[in-house]
């Protein structure tokens, strides 16, 4: 199943000229510099880049947790002024209330939004089924495995039907097999719902397995270095399955992305020996 893109895709979020500086005693840490990015409806955007390059900062700006030091972040035509349920956020650590069971954790957002009880039950059941947690409705978070907690977290986010799903290394703490199961689940949900997704990852194979667009960032202060269109996610979900990873076009793109990332790490190593390199870049 290939997505048919319109000539003029609908923009869901727009970042224009974003700088972000974390204040500190020495005048601030520049985390992002001149970031411009349009995220279109139905896209699955994966962001890759060296550690500390500003990936989480970028996600937090779109989520509305941080306000850019310079530039504008918009959702549709509106400036993002704070977090809201149109943008669902998922982090590496599952966000579940330990004293609530799976069902009540998932229902939480709808209760806050004062949905009628009967509707809450119906929607919650639907998402419990979707993430494969049927039979665990009454379990408390401490009774669940890491993967199950992330499934519950995902349902808790999706239940609000966010326009955009923002995920910051959501599977980073999971073992390889659970991680792949979660990737398959997220892909399946994305294909079913047509949601717009932005996912941050350290793992180039995760990006290649899920993205329709891959964004590679420079080391700190983060800038967008390069973007790649990708379509392996459709092929993995189709008849080729995991065999796609052995195709020359997959390996070529993987190699190209890894080269860019490792050249960034080389720059870091060199700049530690010769601080002039950092200055030259600016």
Residue 157 interacts with ligand ATP (CB under 6 A): yes or no: no
Query: Least distance from C-beta 179 to Mg ion, angstroms?
Result: 17
**Stretch near Mg ion under the rule CB under 5 A, chosen from 10-18, 51-59, 125-133, 149-157:** 51-59
Nearer to ligand ATP, 57 or 157 (CB): 57
CA distance 225 to 240: 31
Residue nearest to Mg ion (CB): 56
Residue 219 interacts with ligand ATP (CB under 6 A): yes or no: no
Nearer to ligand ATP, 33 or 56 (CB): 56
| Contact assessment for residue 68 and residue 222, using Cβ atoms and an 8 Å cutoff | no
| Contact assessment for residue 177 and residue 209, using Cβ atoms and an 8 Å cutoff | no
Only one residue has tokens 């997220």, namely: 186
Kind plus residue range of the DSSP H or E element containing 31: strand 29-40
Measuring CA to CA, how many Å separate 148 from each of 93, 124, 132, 134, 142? 12, 16, 9, 11, 10
Choose from ligand ATP, Mg ion, none: what does 97 bind? Cβ within 5-8 Å by kind: none
User: For the window 40-69, what string marks contact with ligand ATP as x by the rule CB under 6 A?
Assistant: ---------x-xxxxxxx------------
Q: Which residues bind Mg ion (CB under 5 A)?
A: 56
Q: Which residues bind ligand ATP (CB under 6 A)?
A: 22, 24, 29, 31, 49, 51-57, 220
């Amino acid at each position: 199943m290939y997505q048919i893109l319109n000539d003029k895709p609908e923009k869901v979020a727009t970042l224009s000229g974003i700088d972000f500086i974390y204040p500190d005693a020495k005048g601030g840490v520049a985390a992002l510099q001149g970031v411009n990015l349009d995220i279109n409806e139905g896209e699955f955007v994966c962001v890759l880049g060296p550690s500390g390059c500003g990936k989480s900062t970028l996600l937090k700006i779109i989520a509305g947790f941080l306000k850019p030091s310079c530039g504008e972040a918009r959702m549709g035509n509106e400036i993002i002024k704070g977090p809201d349920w149109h943008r669902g956020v998922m982090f590496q650590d599952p966000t579940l209330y330990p004293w609530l069971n799976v069902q009540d954790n998932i229902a939480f957002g709808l209760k806050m939004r004062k949905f009628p009880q009967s509707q809450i039950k119906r929607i919650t059941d639907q998402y419990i089924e979707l993430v494969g947690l049927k039979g665990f409705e009454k379990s408390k978070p401490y009774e669940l495995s890491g993967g199950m907690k992330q499934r519950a977290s995902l349902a808790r986010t999706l239940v609000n039907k966010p326009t955009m799903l923002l995920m910051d290394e959501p599977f980073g703490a999971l073992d390889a097999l659970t991680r792949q199961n979660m990737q398959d689940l997220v892909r399946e949900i994305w294909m079913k719902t047509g949601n717009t997704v932005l996912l941050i990852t350290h793992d180039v194979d995760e990006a290649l397995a899920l993205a329709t667009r891959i964004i590679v960032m420079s080391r700190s202060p983060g800038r967008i270095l390069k973007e790649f269109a990708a379509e392996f996610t459709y092929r993995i979900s189709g008849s080729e399955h995991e065999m796609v990873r052995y195709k020359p076009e997959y390996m070529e793109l993987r190699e190209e992305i890894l080269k860019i990332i490792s050249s960034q790490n080389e720059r870091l190593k060199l700049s530690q020996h010769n601080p002039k390199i950092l200055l030259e870049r600016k």
